[in-house]
Structure 1
Amino acid sequence: MDFTDDVSDLKTLGLDPDDLPDGLVVADETGRVICFNAAAARITASTPAEALGRPVDEALPLEDLKGRRWWTLTDPYGGLAIRSAQPERHLLLPGNREVLVAARYVRQHPAGPLHRLVITLRSTEARLRNERSHAELIATVAHELRSPLTSVKGFTATLLAKWERFTDDQKRLMLETVHADANRVTRLIAELLDISRIDSGRLEVRRQRVDIAAAVRRHVEAQTTAGEDPGRFVTLVSPELPDLWADPDKIDQVLGNLLENAVRHGAGTVTIEVTPSPGQGATAGADGMEGTEVTVSDEGPGIPEESMSRVFTRFWRGSKRGGTGLGLYIVKGIVEAHGGTISVSRAPGGGARFRFTLPVGAPAHLA
């Protein structure tokens, strides 16, 4: 049976049903299949030749999760004439293979007989991957929260029960530990909020003029104040940088994460380079510069070649030295929210080299 006329709207747009990422099955007014695209064939393990011309309930022998025949329950051709669709739901194909199915009822007249039944099929693999990712995130968060909260609870309970038995120095030490663990919890919660905003596309960028060179120097100073040898850091800043309009707090987050990773997981000298990024496109500034490029490299063992593609994914850890594995995922989200790019490669000294480029941007009221 030729179904070219029934999908002519797709053809007019230069699309073929086989180009669609989801399975598409269309049945005519008699309930026989007139369209069965390549994705539907892949999902159902059938062929278009086997499906075309057959009754739709035979071409798609669907059951609900209780083993009941879906077509008997929904009765698209003999059921309510005012029904226009079936929402997406989990159904089963033969062999208990799960599939996500939605249906649209096309009528030539309101409450008239069914003219076309349009069914979309989607594999559950993507949803299952998403569910596994969420489960892994929950497990990671629970694990990371348990240690500091246990510490906070233990020290506060001890202080409340035996306050008079401790010296001032002992009290201070325990309170400093509680304070540090509370900071860990706060940081983890901030990471979770960032991930939620990145995944939902709601990460807000509040642009201000940012002195990127001063920001780099501030983060290096924070590392040396925390006990790192000042001689371990080399900062190279170009004397002429374009004006950078970005979210200062989020740029601090990016710099802090990359520098902390270089110190914690790398070795030897940590080099931070800040240079203009030349551009010829519409995003280039008045001085011909498209943006600012920042490179952070170390002389440690580097990142294995096979891991390069996973560095910016959730839960990737460069070593076993703690961390949630969420930092670089957030860094990438922040850079891309600014319209920039970030990459990782092997540094000349053998370590890891992270490079991100931020476009010139514009003040928030002009963006």
Structure 2
Amino acid sequence: MSRAERSRRADLPDGSLDAEDLPDGLVVADADGLVVCFNTAAARISGIPPAAALGRPLAEALPLEDLEGRRWWQLTDPYGGLATRTRQPERNLLLPGGREVLVSARFLRADDRTGPVLRVVVALRGTEARRRTERSHAELIATVAHELRSPLTSVKGFTATLLQKWERFTDDQKRLMLETVDADANRVTRLIAELLDISRIDAGRLEIRRQQIDLPAAVRHHVDGKTAAGVAPGRFVIRVQEPLPPLWADADKIDQVLGNLLENAVRHGEGTVTIEVQPEKAAHAPGLLREWTVVTVSDQGPGIPEESIPRVFTRFWRGSKRGGTGLGLYIVKGIVEAHGGTIAVDRGPEGGARFRFSLPAGIPEFMI
């Protein structure tokens, strides 16, 4: 291995990890300001070959400018600036040619606070992930605005009409308008609940309140609700394989998962909707089997196009144009994974969509 290769693959400052193992760019300069580490990710993000950076002064090897065209290393001055400065927060900077990168830096000092700088550690990230996040947020705002506009317009229209022309309507007409207002208010409430769920899922703060639940009973309750709403009872088939292991989960959130999957099967699928609940033993760790409760919901409709399957659990994916915000399955996946489970989708044996989610069964370890 060449000297340049050894420098490019140098260990991190604490010696715990090879720089090439990092997904982000890493650039390290020594006490003399010369670059001693320039990993592959840094080369990919900056477009600068490691051989062109190693051994050169940091400001020359990584010529960064701020968005106003000022040379960043002169402004930062890690070796001759404030003796108490130990880091620079992440910010947008530009490389020659206008390439935009996200840069943060740490200054490792001799006595950890005010001594001379021993190393400057620079982290580089591309802006693609941030732009994807910004696009996702923009899509979310646009979707929310669109979904809110319709019910709120309806609520505003009916309430204004009733207030201005109350005496002109019969009781039946008033009831119909108020029922419409109530349904649209419920629609807004559901959307707000979805947004709160997404916020908690993205932040890793989705709270799970575990209790022992009867999953087959929950399935039957949802099917009864669908038939009471007018769906033909013969459209549902429930298959339960006994005995099932005890299942500790958040009853409300599992209801949310079942409700979403059944609603999708009824709305977007065709033919019989089959719900299967069965136990399964699968590897949890090498040499260790764990009990799982597995639920499968399948229909006989046209199914999901093969090219769309990887996007089913992403935000805003819609199986059709027939209603929905495209957020439900994203939330379903977040709920299942928060329980320590998994969920997948494929084409069922009769051609329709088949959703299968698994939940770890038995008493949770923290409760033992």
Give the TM-score taking structure 2 as reference length. Answer: 0.93
Q: Which amino acid counterpart does residue 108 of structure 2 have in structure 1? A: V
Task: Supply the distance in 2 between the matched residues of 1:49 and 1:92 (Cα, whole angstroms).
Answer: 21
Q: How does 1:1-367 map to 2 (within 5 A)?
A: 7-8=10-11, 12-13=15-16, 15-109=17-111, 110-279=113-282, 281=284, 290-362=291-363, 366=367
Change (3 A) 1:5 1:67: closer
Deviations 1:61-92 (CA, angstroms, capped at 9, x unpaired): 11111111111211222211121111111111
The unaligned stretches of length 5 or more in structure 1 are none
SS at match of 2:367: coil
Change (3 A) 1:316 1:182: same
Q: Identity percentage over the alignment?
A: 73
Deviates more, 1:39-48 or 1:181-190: 39-48
Whether the aligned pair in 2 keeps the contact of 1:294 and 1:355 (CA below 8 Å) is yes
Gaps in structure 2 of 5+ consecutive residues: none
Work out the CA distance in 2 between the residues paired with 1:88 and 1:184.
40
Which portions of structure 1, spanning 4 or more consecutive aligned residues, are displaced by more than 6 angstroms?
Answer: none
1:289 Cα deviation after fit: 7.1
Could you state the TM-score of these two structures normalised by the residue count of structure 1? 0.93
CA 1:22–1:239: 2 relative to 1, 3 Å = closer
**Following the alignment from structure 2 to structure 1, what is the Cα–Cα distance between the partners of residues 22 and 241?**
49
Question: How many matched pairs?
Answer: 364
Going from structure 1 to structure 2, the CA distance change for 1:182 and 1:228 (only over 3 Å counts) comes to same
Q: C-alpha displacement at 1:361, in angstroms?
A: 4.2
Cα deviation, residue 12, structure 1: 4.5
Over residues 285-309 of structure 1, what are the superposed CA-to-partner deviations in whole Å (9 max), with x where a residue is unaligned? Answer: 9xx9712111111100000111111
More displaced 10-residue stretch of structure 1: 118-127 or 106-115:
106-115
Distance of 1:149 and 1:164 partners within structure 2: 24
CA contact (8 A) 1:208 1:363 kept: no
Q: CA deviation at 1:219?
A: 0.7
